Structure 1
Amino acid sequence: MSIALSVLVEEASRYLAVSGMPDYCPNGLQVEGRAEVRQIVSGVTASQALLDAAVEVGADLVLVHHGYFWKSENPCVVGSKQRRLKTLLTHEMSLLAYHLPLDVHPEVGNNVQLARRLGVLVEGPLEPGNPRSVGLVGSLPEPMEPLDFARRVAHVLQREPLLIEAARPIRRLAWCTGAAQGYIEQAIAAGVDAYLTGEVSESTVHSARENGISFLAAGHHATERYGVQALGDYLASRFSIEHRFIDCPNPV
């Protein structure tokens, strides 16, 4: 089975409600390849390693969370950017990328997908009154000591998180996948017991300690593996085409 590229892109963008959502990069089709799609390869970032793996398995389309053409990016097509684009164009592979719309989606979003794997019950947005808040707030079925919760995170993500441990058990949690350590202030305002994200800054440690909450940095890549897989599965099921996720490990 195959589906027209234009139809697949239209459905993905509709499903993720891309229209009207501000972002730091273009969401949707970033590089156009062949007109028909039979196989999707998904991954977190459109790195050269992922593109090479997609070529090897004969993918028609590469679906990622981190694509190209960021607002702060050098626009010149040189170096690794030239090599990546050359790989896509030479092999007529399309690149489809969704950033914030994939973080916030209520079904396939990175934050919801991570919560399901960790057994966290979603209560609502981290930013009250904002239904498209990137971060979420939720609760654990039973209170857990911070170290025990960190062990659960390590087991699920297969990566040891950095833990700044507070004295109190974790009942309510705020989280936002990726590089969202700056949202710790919103987490503190929400009155949660812990905040989980992908990365950490020097100031994050002080904020957690001085406000008495636990903080976990579980990896940018590790926390954002699940949304793109879920979106790829949705599209594959919707159009009866093939999908495979390829993980290119990243320690950050």
Structure 2
Amino acid sequence: MSWIGKIATKVSKFSLNKSDKRLYNAIKRIIGTSPTNLAIYKLAMQHTSVAKENKDGFKESNERLEYLGDAVLGSIVAHFLFKRYPYKNEGFLTDIRSRIVSRASLGDLSKKIGLDELIEVDTKRKNAYSHKSLYGDAIEAFIGAVYLDKGFYFCQKFIVNRILLTHLDLQTIIETDKNYKSKLIEWAQKESRNVQFSISKDKAENNSRQFVAQVLLDENPISTGNGYTKKNAQQDAARRACEALEIE
């Protein structure tokens, strides 16, 4: 039976083996209550490097939960910032949200709540994966599991109270000016690479023009970004390029 078939299954702490009991207790500590379905969390901590094929030939890893968690996290962070900063424009909100959900930020948060001790990964291949990507993916998958196990409103409270307000200094994030475009250009010069920025298109949305920027590395597109100004769109695209290239 796949994890999908186990969603409605309730778990009893006393019926678990030693490994599952450790995971159960860790999840309870992280989210503040007992998990209902341990199978979802086990899948969330299963990196693709240790994925096993089920009877249908599908490799079960945390990638699908990562996809779900990414969407849930983005929505909740956007709503949180919208309410917390009622007089800030969309450019400010977009920028701060991007910094919060960046791979580097999520990687740090993952370790702060203890997911680095729970993630299952092929240790022989661990060096092949970026820690920022590995742990950033894990926290998104974990959020996807919390969402499925406990519902949206519980998940929202978990993210806001146990992650954003506990482990992030929003004022420091706001005051730290990260010029990703300059950082990318500086890296390209050191590595003798050719980097270019372009506005690939723009579109009207709710009477506002939104720009879409593209980063080309050695004439090959590596990232795109959005913004309500050309500068913001280029910064967003540069941020995504820095993450893809693992530029600190």
Higher helix share: 2
Q: What TM-score, normalized to structure 1?
A: 0.25
Q: What TM-score, normalized to structure 2?
A: 0.26
Higher RCO (CA 8 Å, separation ≥ 6 residues): 1
Q: Mark the structure with the bigger radius of gyration.
A: 2
Higher strand share: 1
